[in-house]
Amino acid sequence: MATTPKRVLVTGAAGFLGSHLCDRFIAEGYNVIGMDNLITGDLRNIEHLFKLPNFEFYHHDVTKFIHIPGELDYILHFASPASPIDYLKIPIQTLKVGAMGTHNCLGLAKAKKARILVASTSEVYGDPLVHPQTEDYWGNVNPVGPRGVYDEAKRYLESITMAYHTFHGVETRIIRIFNTYGPRMRLNDGRALPAFIGQALRGEDLTVFGDGSQTRSFCYVSDLIEGIYRLLMSDYVSPVNIGNPDEISLKEFAEEVIKLTGTNQKIVYKELPVDDPKQRKPDITRARTILGWEPKVSRSEGLKITYDYFKTLPEAEWRKQPKEFTSQK
């Protein structure tokens, strides 16, 4: 007798990571429910799934009560603004989705007896005093700074998730995501990679804040999705870093983008924003040991795929992007 496919809910399904998660679970044979209020998501990211019988979409805000009829096996909570431009523009919504949205998703997991994986972030480490960052590091975060709305929303997300695990026995998983890139990123989302490529496409000089010595570690999206999948299927409860430990300075990264795009732009330097992290590099010992995971896609390979994707966007779309951004996540 045929077994009924398992059902998974992905919140933030129309976003960059959420849409790739929907693709992965569809490929694995699941019935997928995508949920998004479209405040930063884009239906174009998942429109290819709408014709499939095993995909449903709910236009819904997770900060409001969530009702899903029928059984539910897994929840992946990825609803949240995730770029500096977004969470500086909509700070209250950012805090609400981290607090109320997570509360609602955990309540749903409890009611359905579903396993839930919540998306935390390397931003819980703030401007770190430990390098590279291990999961045991508690962070250096300014709760009242401009980035605090995102950092503290994610720190609260982790706390309430562990509370539901310890008090209610909900099966929970916590991933701390480091800088990720790939197709379906928004050119205007304020993160370093799309900002640099957008400026190159428009023929503008590339803006680097500070002296460019601050570092980031960029993980290609397919590697991240594999790490998420493995963590969800594991029995590990504590937070796990998923990211690529290949660290690079933003100045060097801007130079790589200029070389990739074949443009003649210069790098221009502007004042470093408040609380912008000076270093960002994951220690992925836990992911390697527990999940058998490590990134496979090189930055040169991933950058080319991403640049080719951005070039397919309508010229009017990347020409209308803002010329200024405020942080380089």
| The pLDDT of residue 329 | 55
Indicate the pairing of strand 219-220 with strand 172-177: unpaired
| The pLDDT of residue 321 | 56
| pLDDT higher than 60, residue 324 | no
Residue owning tokens 């969530």: 66
Judged by average pLDDT, the poorest of 109-123, 157-171, 186-200 is 186-200
| The pLDDT of residue 192 | 86
| pLDDT higher than 90, residue 319 | no
| The pLDDT of residue 1 | 53
Judged by average pLDDT, the poorest of 31-35, 102-106, 187-191, 224-228 is 187-191
Show the tokens assigned to 210: 């500070």
CA angle 324, 142, 87 (to 5 degrees): 40
Residues 6+ apart with CB under 8 A from 289: none
* Residue at 253: amino acid letter: F
| Fold classification of 7-180+220-242 (topology level) | Rossmann fold (3.40.50)
CATH code linked to domain 185-217+246-276+297-319: 3.90.25.10
Distance CA 245, CA 172 (A): 25
Show the tokens assigned to 177: 């995501």
pLDDT band with cut points at 50, 70 and 90 for residue 318: low
| The pLDDT of residue 328 | 53
Rg, C-alpha atoms of the chain:
19
pLDDT band with cut points at 50, 70 and 90 for residue 275: low
Q: What average pLDDT does the segment 76-93 reach? A: 91
pLDDT band with cut points at 50, 70 and 90 for residue 240: very high
- Read off the pLDDT of residues 204-222 as tens digits, 9 standing for 90 and up: 999 998 888 888 899 999 9
pLDDT band with cut points at 50, 70 and 90 for residue 137: confident
| pLDDT higher than 50, residue 20 | yes
* Closest to 250 in 3D by CA, of 222, 269, 225: 269
Q: What average pLDDT does the segment 260-283 reach? A: 82
Model pTM score: 0.93
* Residue at 59: amino acid letter: H
* Percentage of residues of the chain with pLDDT beyond 90: 71
* Residue at 15: amino acid letter: G
Judged by average pLDDT, the poorest of 82-96, 151-165, 230-244, 306-320 is 306-320
Are 124 and 80 in contact by the 8 Å Cβ rule? The answer is no
pLDDT band with cut points at 50, 70 and 90 for residue 190: confident
Show the tokens assigned to 154: 């994610």
Distance CA 13, CA 228 (A): 15
Q: Tell me if the bond preceding 132 is cis, omega within 30° of 0.
A: yes
Show the tokens assigned to 150: 């995102």
Write down the catalytic residue from 30, 87, 125, 150: 150
pLDDT band with cut points at 50, 70 and 90 for residue 326: very low
| The pLDDT of residue 274 | 66
User: Per-domain residue ranges for the chain?
Assistant: 7-180+220-242, 185-217+246-276+297-319
CB < 8 Å & 24+ apart, contacts of 287-293: 287/227, 287/231, 287/240, 287/241, 287/242, 290/234, 290/236, 290/240, 291/227, 291/230, 291/231, 291/234, 291/236, 291/240, 292/230, 293/226, 293/227, 293/230, 293/242
Q: What average pLDDT does the segment 277-302 reach? A: 93
Are 316 and 197 in contact by the 8 Å Cβ rule? The answer is no
| The pLDDT of residue 314 | 80
Indicate the pairing of strand 115-121 with strand 74-77: parallel
Q: What average pLDDT does the segment 51-58 reach? A: 98
Residue 55's DSSP bridge partners are 32
* Closest to 177 in 3D by CA, of 232, 227, 142, 106: 227
Show the tokens assigned to 48: 């290819």
Judged by average pLDDT, the poorest of 137-146, 265-274, 290-299 is 265-274
Is 164 in the active site? no
| pLDDT higher than 70, residue 251 | yes
CA distances 99 to 93, 112, 315, Å, are 10, 20, 38
DSSP code of residue 247: E
| The pLDDT of residue 306 | 95
